[in-house]
């Protein structure tokens, strides 16, 4: 396995009218080539902002901490994304890194044909001429299962159905052969039957192109179906990381456990739904200590409300940031 | 649960005219709901599922008399009053509004940002002139807010200060304040986070049981419906394709569309990948529905008769009804495969 991406100590704050809010707090993870990492979290967890940081797409009121390091390894050569300026960003934006958004209608320009938009980015990011770009674009549309691709190429986004648009979006994102694909809730706006088609398509494309994917979603079922590894975020912090089997079968962090228990399960219709008590706190009122302490049913002591828990390995390659485990560890050491 | 239906619709159709078509030709219509027969038992939590464009929202609105009814009958009978919905005059329609209410999907768009929570909840009381004094209104608002587990101190605040789950509880309070019998909840938890969704679902269920209400719960999410509803109807392109008590439907779905919907739910088991029985293509446009069975363009079992004749909802003597020419045959085949 070859390392593709390293994110270290990503901390991101936004200046707002109501004060400076912390959207991402000291997040670190890495991704291998060909690996699909699921980034799970609810609204306000900072998962989308984290993903946008990888391409420096956050708005001007965003402040990254000095400790933040984002390194993309391109053909063995590390690229410091934080250090890129101006035109240098073009190497990563749409070139080595592509992004698929949740709402494909909002991501296509409404007055430019699908084809022109696909060709435009190929002209910027590759050395192909316009004719070749068109060929490649139509081929990609065909590849993602769009019937009659040369007609679709000349159509506008509003002429396509939701599932078609999302396929076209994927075709566009993949046509530059990116090394890293960021998929931000790519199936959330789709019906389940179409979602199943798109998930299948993405799995096929991973096998074929071998790019790394950061797959952002709130849906643990989608994660279980697509990801190799999972990182769970809550209120700007990572709380658990591990392989998809470990995290979903043996969730270690109380938040992950709560999330899984809150899911309606078709096989357990007699078990009442168990919500996580309380509401997600406002980012303006982040709780001290562990950010989950206001809703946690397993608070172990005063440390939970005062000390930020660090990651502890609960099994090989499976870590959780929770005082339940740090306590056990210190007892074991004593 | 009483057996007598609170709402009973026969051959209900809702067509919307759209622009286009020739100058002298017939005006094209979207057949959003077509020939639906539905009985919603009093005191039931009735689920209506389908993908976008299936007509589930339009059907829900038609039952509230909030969509134009093109054809068919809807009868409402809560034991105290009876209404024949398509023929209600304006005054009686106002009376019906007190008994039938809607909870919307998006708690961010449904609440006026300029009104306090108290005023939002009180508005239906004032509009319908259900209370005489401000004190009476306040008392009623507080009673309902408490029932929906809202913090009474929050009544003076504005909605922007609240999270999605709290806003949805405000929307629910407003729908309940006029003392309705029938509630249509249209995708009422779809915009909520998973950890909050379970809480709102439990609240809806609790309210329905405590107050003896009848719910029509519209959702695209089968696993949510399976958990809260006692009866489910599946819609496709304006038609009901299958309806059954929840347990029965999930234990033995009969319509190929219902089966496909169920298998498309992503499994939580990482080792259970690619098991889904994949449906090809997408839901056709309701302006130009295919002939015969509306599902034939995507159905893996479609044969000649499916392309010609539209199947009617039929039962085998139970509450489980299905509209498919081949369901019996397919059930036998599946039994063989399983054996």
B165-207 residue pLDDT tens = 889 999 999 999 999 999 999 998 888 888 888 999 999 999 9
pLDDT at site A200: 85
- Return the C-alpha torsion angle B79, B83, B85, B87, nearest 10: 170
CA distance B292 to B307: 5
Task: Write out residues 39-98 of A within 8 Å (CB-CB) of B.
Answer: 42-43
CA distance A277 to B97: 34
Task: Tell me if B149 sits within 8 A of B203, measured CB to CB.
Answer: yes
Reported as a pLDDT band with limits 50, 70 and 90, residue B105 is confident
Chain B residue numbers with beta carbons less than 8 Å from the beta carbon of A42 are 193-196
pLDDT at residue B64 tops 70: yes
**Which tokens hold the place of B166?**
């709290």
Mapped onto helix, strand or coil, the DSSP state of residue B108 is: coil
Rg over alpha carbons for chain A, rounded to the nearest Å, is 21
pTM over 0.95: no
Q: What is the ipTM of this complex?
A: 0.82
Chain A residue numbers with beta carbons less than 8 Å from the beta carbon of B206 are none
**Once rounded to an integer, what is the mean pLDDT over residues A184-211?**
84
In chain A the beta strands, taken as DSSP E runs, fall at 3-16, 19-32, 36-40, 62-64, 69-74, 77-80, 97-100, 180-184, 212-217, 229-234, 237-243, 311-315, 318-321
CA distance A50 to B90: 54
pLDDT at residue B338 tops 60: no
Mark yes or no for CB contact B227/A276 under 8 Å: no
Fold of A3-234: Rossmann fold (3.40.50)
Q: What is the CATH number of the domain that holds B30?
A: 3.40.50.300
**Low-confidence winner among A33-47, A170-184, B13-27 (lowest mean pLDDT):** B13-27
Name which of A191, A197, A295 is nearest B51 (Cβ-Cβ): A191
pLDDT at residue B34 tops 90: yes
Angstroms from B170 CA to nearest CA on chain A: 14
pLDDT at site B307: 94
Confirm or reject contact between A16 and chain B (CB < 8 A): no
pLDDT at site A210: 82
pLDDT at site A18: 82
Angstroms from A46 CA to nearest CA on chain B: 14
pLDDT at site B169: 92
Chain A residue numbers with beta carbons less than 8 Å from the beta carbon of B222 are 192, 266
Chain B residue numbers with beta carbons less than 8 Å from the beta carbon of A275 are 195-199, 202
A235-264 residue pLDDT tens = 999 999 999 999 999 999 999 999 999 988
B243-294 residue pLDDT tens = 999 999 999 999 999 999 988 888 888 888 765 567 887 888 888 889 999 9
Per the structure, the count of domains in chain B is 1
Name which of A218, A244, A265 is nearest B223 (Cβ-Cβ): A265
Task: Tell me the pLDDT of chain A averaged across its residues.
Answer: 89
pLDDT at site A59: 87
**Low-confidence winner among A27-41, A66-80, B253-267, B271-285 (lowest mean pLDDT):** B271-285
Name which of A43, A193, A265 is nearest B193 (Cβ-Cβ): A43
What are the domain boundaries of chain A?
A: 3-234, 252-333
Q: Nearest chain A residue to B280 by CA: give it.
A: A197
pLDDT at site A333: 42
B107 vs B147, higher pLDDT: B147
Mark yes or no for CB contact A196/B51 under 8 Å: no
CA distance B144 to B122: 10
A298-310 residue pLDDT tens = 999 899 999 999 9
pLDDT at residue A285 tops 90: no
> Could you list the residue range(s) of the whole structural domain that residue B135 is in?
5-268+276-338
pLDDT at site B85: 93
Q: Which residue has the tokens 């084809």?
A: A115
What per-residue string of b and e applies to B199-211 under the rule 16 or more CB within 10 Å gives b? Answer: bbbbbbbebbeee
pLDDT at residue B126 tops 50: yes
pLDDT at site B1: 45
Task: Write out residues 156-185 of B within 8 Å (CB-CB) of A.
Answer: 163-166
pLDDT at residue B108 tops 90: no
Q: Nearest chain A residue to B53 by CA: give it.
A: A191
**Low-confidence winner among A73-87, A320-334, B300-314 (lowest mean pLDDT):** A320-334
Mapped onto helix, strand or coil, the DSSP state of residue A72 is: strand
A109 vs A330, higher pLDDT: A109
Residue to substitute from B107, B194, B250, interface A, most A β-carbons within 10 A: B194
Task: Tell me if B325 sits within 8 A of B309, measured CB to CB.
Answer: yes
pLDDT at residue A177 tops 80: yes
CA distance B126 to B20: 42
CA distance A278 to B199: 9
pLDDT at site B61: 94
**Which tokens hold the place of B59?**
């059907």
């Amino acid at each position: 396995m070859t390392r593709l991406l390293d994110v270290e100590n990503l901390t991101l704050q936004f200046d707002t009218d109501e004060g400076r809010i912390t959207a991402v707090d000291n997040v670190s993870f890495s991704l291998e080539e060909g690996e699909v990492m699921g980034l799970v979290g609810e609204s306000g967890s900072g998962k989308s902002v984290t993903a946008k940081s990888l391409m420096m797409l956050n708005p001007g009121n965003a402040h990254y901490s000095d400790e933040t390091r984002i390194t993309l390894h391109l053909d063995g050569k590390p690229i410091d994304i934080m250090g890129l300026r101006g035109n240098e960003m073009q190497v990563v934006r749409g070139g080595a890194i592509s992004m698929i958004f949740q709402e494909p209608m909002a991501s296509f320009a409404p007055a430019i044909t699908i084809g022109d938009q696909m060709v435009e980015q190929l002209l910027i990011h590759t050395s192909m001429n316009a004719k070749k770009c068109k060929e490649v674009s139509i081929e990609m549309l065909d590849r993602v299962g769009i019937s009659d691709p040369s007609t679709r190429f000349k159509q506008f986004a509003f002429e396509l159905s939701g599932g078609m648009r999302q396929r076209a979006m994927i075709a566009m994102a993949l046509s530059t052969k990116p090394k890293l694909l960021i998929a931000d809730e790519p199936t959330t706006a789709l019906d389940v039957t179409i979602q199943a088609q798109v998930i299948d398509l993405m799995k096929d494309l991973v096998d074929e192109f071998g790019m790394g994917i950061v797959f952002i979603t709130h849906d643990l079922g989608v994660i279980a179906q697509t990801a190799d590894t999972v990182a769970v975020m809550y209120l700007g912090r990572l709380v658990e990381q591990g392989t998809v089997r470990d995290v979903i079968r043996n969730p270690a962090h109380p938040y992950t456990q709560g999330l899984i228990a809150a899911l309606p399960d078709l096989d357990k219709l007699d078990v009442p739904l168990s919500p996580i008590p309380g509401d997600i706190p406002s980012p303006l009122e982040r709780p001290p200590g562990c950010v989950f302490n206001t809703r946690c049913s397993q608070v172990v002591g005063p440390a939970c409300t005062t000390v930020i828990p660090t990651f502890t390995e609960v099994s090989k390659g499976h870590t959780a940031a929770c005082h339940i485990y740090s306590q056990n560890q210190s007892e074991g050491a004593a | 649960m009483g057996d007598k239906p609170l709402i009973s619709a026969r051959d209900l159709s809702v067509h919307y005219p759209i622009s286009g078509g020739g100058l002298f030709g017939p005006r094209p219509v979207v057949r959003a709901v077509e020939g639906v027969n539905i009985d919603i038992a009093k005191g039931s939590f009735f689920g209506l599922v389908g993908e976008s464009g299936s007509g589930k929202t339009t059907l829900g609105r038609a039952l509230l008399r909030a969509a134009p009814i093109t054809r068919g009958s809807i009868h409402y009978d809560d034991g105290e009053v009876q209404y024949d919905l398509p023929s209600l005059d304006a005054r009686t329609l106002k009376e019906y509004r007190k008994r039938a209410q809607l909870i919307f999907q998006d708690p961010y768009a449904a609440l006026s940002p300029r009104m306090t929570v108290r005023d939002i909840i009180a508005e239906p009381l004032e509009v319908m002139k259900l209370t005489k004094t401000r004190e009476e209104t306040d008392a009623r608002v507080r009673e309902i807010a408490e029932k929906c587990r809202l913090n009474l101190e929050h009544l003076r605040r504005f909605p922007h200060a609240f999270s999605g789950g709290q806003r949805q509880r405000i929307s629910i309070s407003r729908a309940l304040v006029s003392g309705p019998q029938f509630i249509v909840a249209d995708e009422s938890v779809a915009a909520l986070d998973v950890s909050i969704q379970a809480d709102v679902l439990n609240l809806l269920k609790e309210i329905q049981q405590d107050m003896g209400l009848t719910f029509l719960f519209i959702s695209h999410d089968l696993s949510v419906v399976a958990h809260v509803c006692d009866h489910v109807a599946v819609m496709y392109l304006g038609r009901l394709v299958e309806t059954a008590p929840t347990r029965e439907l999930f234990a033995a779905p009969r319509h190929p569309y219902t089966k496909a919907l169920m298998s498309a739910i992503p499994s939580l088991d990482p080792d259970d990948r690619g098991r889904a029985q994949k449906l090809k293509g997408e839901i056709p446009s309701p302006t130009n529905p295919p002939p015969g069975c509306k599902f034939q363009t995507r159905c893996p079992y479609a044969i000649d008769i499916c392309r010609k004749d539209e199947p009617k909802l039929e039962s085998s003597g139970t509450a489980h009804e299905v509209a498919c020419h081949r369901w019996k045959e397919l059930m036998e085949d599946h039994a063989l495969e399983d054996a």
